[in-house]
Amino acid sequence: MKKNVKKILSTIMIAASLGGIACATDTVQPVIAKIKTVIKYDKSDQTKAKKIEAENKNTEEKIENLDKKIAKLHKQLSKYTSNHVESVSEAKLASLNYSGNNVIVVNNNNPSFSKSDLSTSDGSWQSYGDLDGLNRVTAANALLNKNLMPTSKREPLHVDPTGWHNKRIAGGWLYNRCHLIGYQLTGQNNNIKNLMTGTRQLNDPDMLRYENEVADYVKESSSHYVRYRVTPVFRGNELLARGVEMEGQSTGSNEVHFNVYIFNVQPGVKLNYSNGTSKVA
């Protein structure tokens, strides 16, 4: 192609010099300029163009795949969204009935810690409430820091909290001995004041999701602190908790910031909250 264009150009130039084209200088020069532009667009340019086209196509495919992933994540996270609960009081939470959302936001996701609650002047600490009159676990509080995390091997769990009527269902055991404050955060294991009967769904993935968020932040730096509280919520004299309220707040920042209520439920199983027995639906 380049050879033919040069031949045409040569012919035009000869014709112009012989006066074969009227007003040769004015008419031929623009044509010559255009032809030279065509000549410059050689195989190298075509290769570059094809490469750019392929890159654009690849980018479009990546964007399309990313859109699909985002849509999938939105679908997966839909169970973590709901209308806000107006009050964080235990009485209010205890009256809530499960309606398909495992996790709901409490108090616009704002934990109810005071300024003094967030003080780090005394360093990290942990505190576990006494069992109530029915031997049920109560709230666990802590100011978490990297120095509270366990370094020794974890021992097997053997404490049986109230409502412990475990059995095998499809996929494994129905119940776990759920730590209010996760073992990875403080190393508390067979502490009866830190264990409750919780479904596998409650323990992992629902509670674990927030525990991991806190653990990841605390492990980043020895100067990172998180005020943390987990409150089991019982209805009346029931021995199996209806759910747990989890609150977390990093000091000096909002990198960790949540207040949620998680229902103690298991898909495909009807729980008797009065004593912890169950029936597979």
Q: Is the pLDDT of residue 66 over 80?
A: no
* pLDDT tens column, 258-267: 999 999 999 9
Q: Are 206 and 264 within 8 A, CB to CB? A: no
pLDDT, one tens digit per residue, over 186-200 is 999 999 999 999 999
Range with top average pLDDT, 2-6, 28-32, 217-221:
217-221
Per-residue confidence band for 1, with pLDDT thresholds at 50, 70 and 90: low
Query: For 130-141, what is each residue's pLDDT tens digit?
Result: 999 999 999 999
Whether residue 6 has pLDDT greater than 60: no
**What pairing do the DSSP bridges indicate for beta strands 103-105 and 125-128?**
unpaired
Q: What is the pLDDT of residue 87?
A: 43
Q: Indicate the pLDDT class of residue 82, thresholds 50, 70 and 90.
A: very low
pLDDT band for position 50 (cuts 50, 70, 90): confident
Residue 157 confidence (pLDDT): 95
Helix, strand, coil percentages, rounded to 5, for the chain: 40, 20, 40
pLDDT at 79: 42
C-alpha distances in Å from residue 99, one per residue of 241, 243, 263, 272? 17, 13, 10, 17
The overall average pLDDT reported for the chain is 84
pLDDT category at 48 given cuts 50, 70, 90 is confident
* % of the chain with per-residue pLDDT over 70: 74
DSSP string, 8-71: HHHHHHHHHHTT-STTHHHHHHHHHHHHHHHHHS-HHHHHHHHHHHHHHHHHHHHHHHHHHHHH
Q: pLDDT confidence of 55, banded at 50, 70, 90? A: confident
pLDDT of the residue at 21: 47
Question: What is the SS3 assignment for 5?
Answer: helix
Please tell me which residue, 145 or 74, carries the higher pLDDT value: 145
Return d(Cα 228, Cα 157) in angstroms, integer. 23
* Pair 63, 56: CB distance under 8 Å: no
Instruction: Kindly report each contact of residues 214-223 with a partner whose C-beta sits within 8 Å and lies 24 or more positions away, as own/partner.
Output: 214/144, 214/185, 214/248, 214/256, 215/149, 215/182, 215/184, 215/185, 217/250, 217/255, 217/256, 218/144, 218/145, 218/146, 218/149, 218/185, 219/146, 219/149, 221/146, 222/145, 222/146, 222/147
The whole-angstrom separation of Cα 144 and Cα 28 is: 83
Does the pLDDT of residue 246 top 80, yes or no?
yes
107-120 pLDDT per residue, tens: 999 999 999 999 99
How far CA 14 is from CA of 4, 28, 48, 153, 176, in Å, comes to 15, 11, 35, 94, 95
Among the listed ranges 54-63, 159-168, 176-185, 247-256, which one has the minimum average pLDDT value?
54-63
Q: What is the pLDDT of residue 51?
A: 78
